[in-house]
Amino acid sequence: MPHVTDEDISTYVDGRLEPGRYDEVVREIERNPSLRHKAEAFASQGEALHELFDDVLDEPVPDRLMQVVRPTVANQNKPSGGFSFSQPRQWLAAAAVAGLVFTGGLGSGWMLKDGGNQENAIFAPLVRESVLSHQMMELNRPSGAVAGQAAITMNGDANPFQVALRAPSQAGSSNFQPVSFRNVVGSSGETVQVLYSDEQGEVVTLYVQEHSKNVGLPFEKSTVDGYNVVYWMDGPLLYSLVSQKDSNSLMGLANAFYASKGIQPLGQQQMGGQPVMGQQPSASQPSGLQPVVTQPAGQVIPTQPGTQ
């Protein structure tokens, strides 16, 4: 019987256990009521913390604080406008974990549906972080767009992966164009986030992380706090697409992103299995965007999407 520590349970509650360890811990938690109660208690602490402190987010910011940042503009006190993190259920980790413990049932995975435990362990942090990053990017989105560029090609410091990154210039036949990109440090390390926007100002975030596994995992859908998410794994890269668009439209965009193959492993052709949900992308029907594979020397070689 594997020994399960408090740290295991704490890490499990955060969805951060390694896949192998995750299965062991879930089995023990399901078997041992005291461990289950401890996991429930840990998860409920997160909810309680939000209940205790989230009202602060809705309080008007005192003038003395605003004047530190805006010394020339007095009395521009305002409540935290725009997107608010103040609703307890909007805080992703706590809400998701609570869902696991109190509604989803232990061991069923949290936030994500229909996936196996290993897939949940892989995708759960990705989904959580991608939604949070989407919210952050909505808050701090640049006023100027770079739409009209053929694509955003990320090189050098902008590209942390051993892959060529070339965010598609347009998501299929939609009007979504790349607005900005940035690097962030996610749970699995370096992450690239690309923000797309259409003419109406609707935004979609493509969130890409590298993973040690190198497989294909099909499209899955999830809804987190009003945001629809489509996520999948293609070769060594995990993808999450986040928006407030309806899930079917988002799935269509995901297919378009997948088919465009704008992000390719370095020196490799397409890897892993194919997403299968919704409109399965066809290798014979690429989006029309020519993907690239950048060799170490910087040579750019067109590839054929869908090549196995």
Partner 1 sequence: MSDFSEQIVEQIPHLRRFARGLVRDSVKADDLVQDALARALAKSELFREGTNLRAWLFTILRNLYISEVRRYNAGPKLTVVDETMTPPSVPASQGDSLALRELEEGLQRLPEEQRTTLLLIGLEGLTYEEAAVVTDVPTGTVRSRLSRARESLRRYMTGEGDAAASPQDGLEDASRN
For Cα atoms 95, 98, 99, give the angle at the middle one, nearest 5 degrees. 85
User: Which residue reads 């986030």 in tokens?
Assistant: 193
Task: Please say whether the dihedral angle defined by the alpha carbons of residues 50, 53, 55 and 59, taken in this order, is positive or negative.
Answer: negative
Residue 244 CB, nearest approach to partner 1 (Å): 19
Residue 77 is a binding residue for partner 1 (CB under 8 A): no
Q: How many residues bind partner 1 (CB under 8 A)?
A: 54
Which residue of 11, 118, 174, 274 would you call a contact of partner 1, by CB under 8 A?
A: 11
Residue 173 CB, nearest approach to partner 1 (Å): 31
> Which amino acid type is present at position 153?
T
**Which DSSP category does 60 fall into?**
P
Nearer to partner 1, 14 or 234 (CB): 14
Measured CA to CA, the distance from residue 207 to residue 224 in angstroms comes to 15
Site string for partner 1, 126-165 (x = CB under 8 A): ---x--x---x--xx-------------------------
Residue 77 CB, nearest approach to partner 1 (Å): 11
Q: And the tokens for 190? A: 């370096």
Residues in the chain: 308
C-alpha dist (Å) from residue 148 to 171, 190, 198, 225: 13, 27, 12, 32
Nearer to partner 1, 11 or 118 (CB): 11
Residue 91 is a binding residue for partner 1 (CB under 8 A): yes
CA-wise closest residue to 275 among 224, 223, 235? 235
Residue 50 CB, nearest approach to partner 1 (Å): 7
Q: Kind of pairing, strands 227-243 and 292-294? A: unpaired
Q: Within 10 Å of residue 20's Cβ, how many Cβ atoms?
A: 10
Which of 91-99, 211-219, 244-252, 255-263 is the region at the interface with partner 1 (rule: CB under 8 A)? Answer: 91-99
> Which amino acid type is present at position 157?
D
Nearer to partner 1, 31 or 37 (CB): 37
Residue 85 CB, nearest approach to partner 1 (Å): 7
Nearer to partner 1, 180 or 247 (CB): 180
Binding residues for partner 1 restricted to 156-215, rule: CB under 8 A: 182-187
Q: And the tokens for 272? A: 């892993």
Residue 52 CB, nearest approach to partner 1 (Å): 5
Residue 88 is a binding residue for partner 1 (CB under 8 A): no
Element (H, E) at 132: helix 117-139
Binding residues for partner 1 restricted to 22-51, rule: CB under 8 A: 38, 41-42, 45-46, 48-51
Element (H, E) at 191: strand 189-197
CA-wise closest residue to 19 among 213, 150, 308? 213
Footprint of partner 1 on this chain (CB under 8 A)?
5-7, 9-11, 13-14, 16, 38, 41-42, 45-46, 48-54, 56-59, 61-62, 64-66, 68-70, 73, 80, 82, 85-86, 91-94, 125, 129, 132, 136, 139-140, 182-187
